[in-house]
Structure 1
Amino acid sequence: MNIIDELTWRGAINQMSDEVGLRKKVEEKSIGVYCGVDPTGDSLHIGHLIPFMMLKRFQMAGHRAHIIIGGGTGSIGDPSGRSSERVLQTMEQVHHNEEALTAQMKQLFGKDNITVLNNYEWLSKIDLLSFLRDYGKLFSINTMLNKEVVSSRLESGISFTEFTYQILQSIDFHHLLEEKDIELQIGGADQWGNITSGIDMIHKIEGSGTEAFALTIPLMLKADGTKFGKTAGGAVWLDAEKTTPYEFYQFWLNQDDRDVVKYLKYFTFLGKEEIASLADKVKNEPEKREAQRRLAEEVTAFVHGKDAVVQAQHISKALFSGDVKTLTAAEIEQGFKKMPTVEVSNEALNIIEWLVLSGIEKSKRQAREDVANGAIYINGERIQDANYIINPSKSFEGKFVIARRGKKKYFLAKIK
């Protein structure tokens, strides 16, 4: 299947600058294609992942994939998608973020048919007069003002710094075409103006017959109309320290039936037949949530590896069944990250006293009543003996005690 046909089936194309020309090009030879990201933070989140999944598909189809870490453009700030000016980061922070994002990209893309570059390498070498003479003359202020990325900011205001961002991105495209034979740039829907500015600049410098292409990805919205990728707790990060693999797995597992098939097309490498089969199961057996489980497995394995999937499923099963004693201390840190948490000493105490001192129970009378009624579980075991002694040093490497009151009310006690 032509890569353009596959992306079309997956609903992954918003706009293309020359569909006929691009189709012919990808059929004739392996082409150079790139997607960029600015180091505004030290981790990507799943919203960033969307265009890079398309880049991955080009890589898998045998094309030469390039990732541009925007050390240069990131020091300026992209105005798209914002209603106000960015706060400029220190160059030290920018360089730290560059290193973190480069490591993430190498983990996601491997080593075959992929190159990671940093636009600071060439943008930092352009002096002011060369910038104005060689590039500024090629851009019409009128045209730049009409670009949606700029026009949307005119009422609230935009600095000259952010106004020039599209020129810098255009310089990137021209440099990569000239030095790396990269003819296609991929980006989000909001990048259309910036990418086509680059194509216009290339045609002015190299001639109107020079082949350069743009492909953008649709803005992804959930079935309820809200923006994909945000949760009540904020962004879903690819960094395991910011969003644990268990949380990451649960995010995909909990997707709406109305969205799951679309996400299978976007975020997995499953083929037409398997996705069609999963779509039938969403329609006819939604209670089994097989499509969501497959989605969670595939995306978690892609970002964190297969071992992380096994671990996330183990945590999920333990929490659902209440059999938490099978968990490791590391798994507890993941699965109980957002559970009510208390700090306790490592002193061995009677269960009644321990429940009150930890704040899990308000009074000894209530603690005795709950223990007698079988409502209290310690480390997965129901305790009905009021004389039971809790020894924190003997559970989960001496780091945690897990208490449960009733069917679902968990508490994580961290040992001081």
Structure 2
Amino acid sequence: MSDVFDELKWRGLMANSTDEAALAEHLETGPVTFYVGFDPTAPSLHMGNLVQLMVARALQRAGHRPLILVGGSTGLIGDPKETAERVLNSKETVAGWVARIQRQVSLFVDFEGPSAARLVNNLDWTSGLSVLDFLRDIGKHFPVNRMLAREVVKARLEEGISYTEFSYVLLQSLDYLELHRAYGCTLQFGGSDQWGNITAGVELVRRADGGHVHALATPLLTKADGTKFGKTESGTVWLDPEMTSPYAFHQFFLNAEDAKVIEYLKVFSERPRDEIEELARKTAAAPHLRAAQRALADDITALVHSPAERDAAVAAAAALFGRSDLAGLSEPTVASVVAELNGPSLEVGAELPTVVDVLAASGVVASKSAARRAINEGGAYVNNVRVNDPDARLAETDLLHDRYAITRRGKRTVGAVSLLRG
């Protein structure tokens, strides 16, 4: 227990804390019950949520007890954004997302043993709470002038903010008070963008019960240019394999920038310090080998999806560039590769398209004439087989799983198509 505070600091997982020395002592003196919350604002958790789950795993390994909260009530309200009012989702939608996210978070912590985790839902203690009781018992502890001073509220005052979102901080603070009373919870953590809500909960516990509790916030991970990490051109990187395939997930981390990869490795890999420091030395000496990127992508894909899905993603990447056989890949893996390559669908009838048509449609060449030139120059491939005849037509035996064709020009330009039967 005495090492976890230093580990979190070394891994760059502490941006703020209510009292650093007091928190370090608190974590050292015995098992602490802590909580981290996730609002169901989408059907899946994302990369920012995974940062919090890595902190929870580290604390649990050190002997502390997790309460993993999925916000069935706070998800109905929505934490205020700086830009505009949130669109409220239906109760049925939020309930469905709660169930999905509960299943996701259950994969990351242990629900057995002396430090067993517990899932909690704040709808359990808010659904029966009357407005009068909420205003009398909770609202009286929140000075309006301090609520107005919150950065997110100030950013919205000119355009307007609903009372619903304005009061969100009361609901989240109530969570801390309830978990402190019911389970002796004395630590809450979350992203640095939640720091105002988190410290409001600390203050509510003090005002309502005279309790002394702790809080910490993790930093917002960014790319080298300062933009938010965890988004691609196609959108958010999700933990749900149906929303971001394991192959795309692995590729995302494999493409981490040299300048940031060790920072990400400290957060998302559970390798010990000496291994990470060795990878840092290798990256500095030979960045072209991308040893840290491979370690990062392999570790996080195995954790979030499974070792088998990690192996499938590695095999797919190797096969894509001709280093192994594409035919050995499963259909879901091939489908995810085609989707990641933005492979178009081609409608076909009794006759399959020509290789020239497929090369042009997949985008590895700019035109059909360019496809013919690539074939004549010996640099065109379909499913890693060099094409020699510019007049050739695809055969059924050329297709992966009866519908997919992976195209390549030269060593690095890769595309794909999927065939739709008429």
Give, as a single letter, the amino acid of the residue that structure 1 aligns with 2:254: L
Structure 2's unaligned 5+ residue stretches are none
Are residue 174 (structure 1) and residue 208 (structure 2) matched?
Answer: no
Structure-1 residue corresponding to 2:128: 125
Letter of the 2:331 partner, please give it: A
Residue of structure 2 in register with 1:271 after alignment: 272
Query: Is the aligned partner of 1:411 residue 2:416?
Result: yes
Deviation of residue 116 (structure 1)? 1.2
Q: CA deviation at 1:369?
A: 5.7
For normalisation by structure 2, the TM-score amounts to: 0.90
Deviation of 1:282 (Å) = 1.2
Letter in structure 1 aligned against 2:162 = S
- Cα distance per residue 1:134-186 (max 9 Å; x no partner): 11111111121122332232233211111111111111101000111111000
Q: What residue identity is the alignment partner of 2:415?
A: Y
Contact 2:66 2:118 (C-alpha < 8 Å) held by counterparts: yes
What do residues 21-61 of structure 1 show as CA deviations (whole Å, max 9, x unaligned)? 22222212111111101101000111222222111211111
Work out whether residues 325 and 380 of structure 1, in 8 Å CA contact, stay in contact via their aligned partners in 2.
Answer: no
**Counterpart check, 1:251 vs 2:218:** no
> Aligned partners of 2:420, 2:196: CA distance in 1, in Å?
54
Cα deviation for residue 266 of structure 1 reads 1.1
| Bigger Cα displacement from structure 2, 60-69 vs 191-200 | 191-200
SS in 1 for 2:186: strand
1:308-341 deviations in Å (ceiling 9; x for gaps): 1100100110112265333332221111213332
Question: What 5-or-longer segments of structure 1 have no aligned partner?
Answer: none
Matching residue within 327, 335, 338 for 2:337: 335
Q: Distance in 2 between matches of 1:383 and 1:186?
A: 57
- Quick one: distance in 1 between partners of 2:256 and 2:59? 27
Shift of 1:288: 0.7
Give the Cα–Cα distance (whole angstroms) in 2 for the partners of residues 153 and 365 of structure 1.
56
Query: Which residue is equivalent to 2:290?
Result: 289
> What is aligned with 1:206?
209
Map of 2:241 onto structure 1: 240
387-396 vs 122-131, which moves further: 387-396
- Which is further off, 364-373 or 92-101? 364-373
* Deviation per residue, 1:63-85 (Å, 9 max, x gap): 10111101101101101x43211
- Kindly indicate whether residue 113 of structure 2 is the aligned counterpart of residue 109 of structure 1: no
* Equivalent pair of 2:320/2:414 in contact (CA under 8 Å): no
Q: Which letter maps to 1:300?
A: T
Report the more deviating stretch, 100-109 or 86-95. 100-109
5 Å-filtered alignment, 1:338-349, equals 338-339=340-341, 340-345=343-348, 347-349=350-352
How many residue pairs are counted as aligned between the two chains?
413
Match of 1:146 in 2: 149
Alignment identity in percent? 38
Separation in 2, partners of 1:310, 1:414: 27
- In the TM superposition, what are the counterparts of 1:42-121 in structure 2 within 5 Å? 42-79=43-80, 81-112=81-112, 113-121=116-124
Amino acid at match of 2:96: H
Q: Which amino acid aligns with 1:411?
A: A
Contact 2:44 2:240 in 1 (8 A): yes
With structure 1 as the length reference, what TM-score do the two structures score?
Answer: 0.92
Q: Shift in Å at residue 248 of structure 1?
A: 0.6
The answer to whether the 8 Å contact 1:328/1:396 transfers is: no
Whether the aligned pair in 2 keeps the contact of 1:185 and 1:215 (CA below 8 Å) is yes
1:392 pairs, out of 390, 396, 415, with 396
Structure 1 residues 108, 353: closer, same or farther in 2, change over 3 A?
Answer: same
SS in 2 for 1:411: strand
Which letter maps to 2:275? E
